[in-house]
Structure 1
């Protein structure tokens, strides 16, 4: 079961909680132009799907929306959780009607920064774009499979087309309201590729040196020893981890084969088809706790179990596709690491964990506690509701009197606090001023409704 222990790092501030449920399309998060270290050089973004803020914003909503499942209970984020580096702390994730996924849900963090373009443990998806809608069309996971009486992806598209915020968001991202599977794939993959973590202790140290083989000034002696063991090949006294988990990205070599784990989650069967692996970054969270069990079957539950596995690869005759790097000289790998060396490797792996990605709002759930979402901003002013472009609030921030300038007509002004509680209401005609001296300091949302056309525009303001 998915029983989560509380993480101190994941305690989210009150403001973070209160603004959930609202997306301001005039003030988008930065997905397209995030900074990354100069030593991060791998990127599997295709030329036809370069990240832009509008499409990634749509992707964020799709990623967290349970309406993408047949019974409105499962979202992509149900199995790929921000607090677990976008993985799951359960061995098998819970899907539609309590069904379990066949493999452990892979962490999605830094999915963009890899030479490997294929996705899923068994690499059955030729790209991240192709991967994104396969869980939606899985009979067990999200249920739009088109088999055994289930609806198919076309039924999902009809369903989404009837939801107002998707009409707005697809038009916002693509220039018209048409929803297709390809557009869903483009948006979801942009959001996922935007999820990055480069503020770890490793990154701080890496920025201080030219050669990653040298000691990092901010590392302990144990962590530097672990780094050397990770990087050096076995014939030079190391563990050879860098041979498969390469560079500063710590991505998996696309040519990797089986790593010696051949189990099937929840079964006694074997599976030799798993060659993909996520980055080694953020194996643990900032508290040092593992972000869920490891390997495709979730069979290893501590970093030390992983180190012990590679220290002595099982000699299993049933494993006919073991990576040759784990079979030196025709024999399964025996590194003969000491306990001190194992602890050093463990210490080094923990330096690969960042902080920001676990709490940054740009990757958080945009829906409120009731699974509702509101879109605000003049960017919504399409040909159907241009009146929002003529609405002006001033001054903003406001101390006492808030002036509102609108076209001729009758309007209802309603003001809500960040909890969604109505705190003020007034009818106005054309331009008017509202006395808000009774409002407490804070952020508020003003909803202006034209009483004739019923069109609505929402604006945000600050009360000082």
Structure 2
């Protein structure tokens, strides 16, 4: 009886059966498949810092809710984000439409999916954690980021596990992922169980997306040196400070919607220092559609204005849900003259003072100053940091 117990102990401890020589010890590696697939890109014993990144003290918003970022969870989310196995034909991942090199957006107006193209331009994923607005997609159809993460997977055109139009349903994806060795190890490591569920996928993907942050811009350097945004930033040029003032100050209108004084009022929808969208915003006057005919007045969500462009001024892809805006000059110009289109019942009230579409009567120096300020909102690290990069070998 004692012999059987001793043999069992030897097996549990990882020794070679039939020998009591400690030199025969064979360590058990619970991450064999992770190591074989990702090499040093994903090392469970040496994780990237996702949970405790530096956040400026003037950033006060945090919509993580009941799903705080953990190093383990975000690591799993990173793998899921870049894995083409999450699409029905193994050709599309979340990163196909949200590319790190472009502030996690796409340079194409409509992104390519497994059965066509997306219905709207792919939104940039910068500082999604730091916003009052917790709903997602341009039309806010997802109640939170967790819900949003699996909706593209279940879309027929995008990733193809819709359960319609001949697609397999989401349960088929769960079965598919459950047969992959590195997911067995990753889910066991993160959740204490190999079982893969939609809720676990949502939690991990949301943690990874919320971890993507950008606070190394010229704006952030200046903001750290003053008490509030209204003060001149010592590292800004006169033009950049002028643009900041125009961005922050509300306009003063006459009875016909013409600006007579004041700024441009951009902060009314994109408040500093997060520069995300106000949850109570209506649409911004762009109501076109990418596919088909008609109008689309339900788009009221927008990404943060951070990293609209790269540091050199190169755009991170077209802007707005239709991708119709391709330069900062065009973006500022759009708000300069708002025409209320027939059928647009959802235009933001701030863009129709006294019932008229706003006429800001922008001057060239004002446009150039606001553009100069918007460019100060771009950082550098978010484009190259390996913790947000593709962990799969090329």
CA distance in 2, matches of 1:83, 1:178: 33
Task: Name the CA shift for 1:75/1:21 in 2 (closer, same or farther; >3 Å).
Answer: farther
Q: Which runs of 5+ in 1 are unaligned?
A: 1-18, 370-464
Which has the larger share of strand? 1
Check whether the contact 1:265–1:299 (CA below 8 A) recurs between aligned residues.
no
Map of 2:314 onto structure 1: 289
Q: Displacement of 1:211 after TM fit?
A: 2.0
Task: Name the CA shift for 1:64/1:264 in 2 (closer, same or farther; >3 Å).
Answer: same
CA RMSD, aligned part only? 1.1
Check whether the contact 2:229–2:272 (CA below 8 A) recurs between aligned residues.
no
**Is the counterpart of residue 58 in structure 1 residue 83 in structure 2?**
no
CA distance in 1, matches of 2:129, 2:179: 32
Q: Displacement of 1:213 after TM fit?
A: 0.6
Check whether the contact 1:171–1:177 (CA below 8 A) recurs between aligned residues.
yes
Paired residues for 1:352-367 under 5 Å: 352-367=377-392
Select which of 271, 274, 294 maps to 1:246.
271
Task: Name the CA shift for 1:56/1:293 in 2 (closer, same or farther; >3 Å).
Answer: same
Select which of 287, 291, 296 maps to 1:271.
296
Count, aligned residues: 349
Q: Displacement of 1:134 after TM fit?
A: 0.3
Which has the larger share of helix? 2
Map of 2:328 onto structure 1: 303
Q: Deviations over 1:36-61 (max 9, x none)?
A: 100111111112x1111001100000
**Is the counterpart of residue 91 in structure 1 residue 116 in structure 2?**
no
Q: Displacement of 1:88 after TM fit?
A: 0.6
State the 4+ residue runs in structure 1 displaced beyond 4 angstroms: none
Q: Displacement of 1:269 after TM fit?
A: 2.2
Give TM-score, length-normalised by structure 1: 0.74
Map of 1:176 onto structure 2: 193
Map of 2:93 onto structure 1: 75
Structure with higher RCO (Cα < 8 A, 6+ apart): 2
CA distance in 1, matches of 2:340, 2:54: 44
Q: Deviations over 1:357-394 (max 9, x none)?
A: 1000000000001xxxxxxxxxxxxxxxxxxxxxxxxx
Q: Which runs of 5+ in 2 are unaligned?
A: 1-37, 253-260
**Is the counterpart of residue 100 in structure 1 residue 117 in structure 2?**
yes
Q: Deviations over 1:312-352 (max 9, x none)?
A: 01231221111110000111001111011001001100000
**Is the counterpart of residue 31 in structure 1 residue 50 in structure 2?**
yes
Q: Displacement of 1:21 after TM fit?
A: 6.6
**Is the counterpart of residue 204 in structure 1 residue 229 in structure 2?**
no
CA distance in 1, matches of 2:158, 2:228: 45
CA distance in 2, matches of 1:138, 1:63: 16
Q: Displacement of 1:212 after TM fit?
A: 1.0
SS at match of 2:131: coil
